[in-house]
Amino acid sequence: MTTITVVNAGLREPSSTRMLADRLVEAISAEVADAQIRHIDLRQHAHAITDALLTGFPSGELAEALASVRDADALVLVTPTFQGSYAGLFKSFADLVEPDAVRGTPTMLAATGGSERHSLVIEHAMRPLAAYLGLLVVPTGVYAATADFGGQGAPELTRRIHRAARELRTLVGGVTVAEAPEPAGSGHAEIDAGPLLGSFTPFDELLQSVSGAGR
Amino acid sequence: MQFGIFTVGDLTIDPVTGTTLTEHERIKATVAIAQKAEEVGLDVFATGEHHNPPFAAPGNPPVLLAHLAAKTEKLILSTATTLITTNDPVHLAEDYAYAQHLADGRIDLMLGRGNTGPVYPWFGKDIRDGIDLAVENYALLHKLWREENVSFEGKYRTPLYGFTSVPRPLDGIPPVVWHGSIRSPQIAEQAAFYGDAFFHNHIFWPKEHTERMVDLYRRRFEHYGHGSADQAIVGLGGQVFMRANSQDAIREFRPYFDNAPVYGGGPSLEAFMRETPLTVGSPQQVIERTLGFREYVGDYQRQLFLIDHAGLPLQTVLEQLDILGGEVIPVLRKEFAALKPGHVPDAPTHASLLAACRATATKETDQSYAAPVTDRWTGTTAETDNAPSAL
């Protein structure tokens, strides 16, 4: 089974961003036979996201949402374009993702906007963020302006959706991005302290590296 | 088990009266709170260390602790926390040992790194070096209290050759050290490595962090051969506000919760009580919640409560201490003691370490062993390399 988490930062009900997300899911489900889709509509978590920024920890359903991002086999990130960039809520959610939690996760990026003039938002705003998070992003970004849902842009949008879905399938099915092993003797032996804590260096080794005088 | 309170010394506007204490009033209130803590039968008072507004906690806690030592008889005076990153370990060794003498051994300290980024550069340090500073500085502090002619070269301070920190710790027994950290496994590892105590502040965060850090500390304590995991020395924070009727407690505390910068504008009081160890309610609710802590950290040795923050008036804080000392802690003392197995030790104190030390010394004398005699003038022994070049 391939778990795919879809993060939608659309604020309206109904939301054209969510509509785009649904079309992406439809195309992905056709490509990835065993896809299991989990939707995260950030609107529902907006208050909890602010709380988490203030307290330093996510709680309840937001914690589950972040876990489903962390554990996903692939991600689909969809945001409306506000003031020439991704929505603030989208960035606030991204700010809560733990460092390295999504490194190497195959990802599709998509955005909506009022007109075609914002279509580079994916390349200029979303891709740098995805690069920071270490996401493995498909080459085709899917941007949909209002006119693309029904007007003359509609066939081209459909083509882009299917191309992005095929690209995501190849990444999900074909590649494993594992961290390259450290060359022997280059670092400290790390001990895994489990969830929430990460790994740490055994103390005697740390002491040696910090202080020549040691114990 | 030890019970006490810890303070961060914040100067926060009282949202009910609209007033903020002056620094002078806050500092004097802190002294009154500590004295009251002793009066109602608490064991420990711990102060934070702060270098920036809006805090009136001491920048050098032994200044306050020494004053409290003169004002109290039995209270253990501690810190929460002493910054091991930005303080010179030589000054820490000197000041805490001096305070320890004044307090007849009633001083211990809890080491923390400090999470206020700007503080580091004020003292010529970088927050990104936080862990390394904590490791090196404590390695030196540990040595200064245990060895008389210390030579030490590290990355963060000027080297020492043949240095003796004075005064020597009282009875040759260094103050008990607790290491505090919310989520840095490296600090739990440090406490375990030395066989020192570990404290989790256990406020503002969900209990899962506390549970995992304590579990890691216990496992590593055993790994380093200081005893079994359940014999490791664990302390927890906690945060309470009580009135006889739980609804009164919630009504009275809510404006403080809603407005204090540490919570303000965040989750609701109810959500915060659910997600973190904060308990606002009746004494009985506090007793039940606190007894529940051992279900996820095991039998532990020290419980400190935060009760004097967020702009709460001094009078209210003193009433909280009356409730804690009168209704809550006597029950907790009895219940925790009944639950604790015999092989789990109490928290070490100067008195307990001195007794253990004397017991060992008696045994060793029986075996015709005498410790090397220290020269009363130089503080060195015949075995020490006293060559002038080392100075």
Residue pLDDT tens, chain A, 215 long: 999 999 999 998 889 999 999 999 999 999 998 999 999 999 999 999 999 998 888 988 999 999 999 999 999 999 999 999 999 999 999 999 998 999 999 999 999 999 989 999 999 999 999 999 999 999 999 999 988 988 888 999 999 999 999 999 999 976 555 555 555 554 567 788 877 788 888 888 888 876 554 44
- From the list B185, B193, B263, the residue facing A197 with the nearest CB is B185
- From the list A50, A197, A202, the residue facing B213 with the nearest CB is A197
Nearest CA in chain A to B261: A54
Nearest CA in chain A to B208: A196
Beta bridge partners of A7: A40, A77
Q: Which residue has the higher pLDDT, A14 or B390?
A: A14
Distance CA B38, CA B198 (A): 24
Kindly report which listed range (A158-162, B198-202, B362-366) carries the lowest average pLDDT score. Answer: B362-366
**Other residues' Cβ atoms within 10 Å of the Cβ of residue B282:** 20
Which helix (H) or strand (E) segment is B321 a member of?
Answer: helix B314-323
Q: Please give, rounded to a whole number of angstroms, the shortest distance from the CA of B140 to a CA of chain A.
A: 8
In this predicted model, what pLDDT tens digit does every residue of B55-97 receive, in sequence order?
A: 999 999 999 999 999 999 999 999 999 999 999 999 999 999 9
What's the token pair of residue A102? 């999504």
**Other residues' Cβ atoms within 10 Å of the Cβ of residue B380:** 16
Give the model's confidence band at B23: pLDDT under 50 very low, under 70 low, under 90 confident, else very high: very high
Q: Does the bond joining B19 to the residue before it have cis omega, within 30 degrees of 0?
A: no
**Mutate: best of B129, B186, B215, partner A, most A CBs <10 A:** B186
Nearest CA in chain B to A201: B186
| Structure confidence at residue A178 (pLDDT) | 56
Smallest Cα–Cα separation from B275: which of A52, A59, A196? A59
**Mutate: best of A47, A53, A54, A210, partner B, most B CBs <10 A:** A210
- From the list A54, A193, A214, the residue facing B265 with the nearest CB is A54
In this predicted model, what pLDDT tens digit does every residue of B207-229 receive, in sequence order?
A: 999 999 999 999 999 999 999 99
In this predicted model, what pLDDT tens digit does every residue of B295-313 receive, in sequence order?
A: 999 999 999 999 999 999 9
Q: SS3 of B167, please? A: coil
Q: Please give, rounded to a whole number of angstroms, the shortest distance from the CA of B309 to a CA of chain A.
A: 17
Distance CA B181, CA A89 (A): 31
Distance CA B68, CA B34 (A): 7
Nearest CA in chain A to B194: A203
Contact B343, B229 (CB under 8 A): no
Which helix (H) or strand (E) segment is B285 a member of?
Answer: helix B283-297
Smallest Cα–Cα separation from A85: which of A114, A120, A115, A46? A120
Contact A28, A168 (CB under 8 A): yes
- Provide, rounded to the nearest whole percent, the portion of chain B with pLDDT above 90: 87
ipTM over 0.90 threshold: no
Q: Please give, rounded to a whole number of angstroms, the shortest distance from the CA of B338 to a CA of chain A.
A: 32
B265–A206 C-beta distance less than 8 A: no
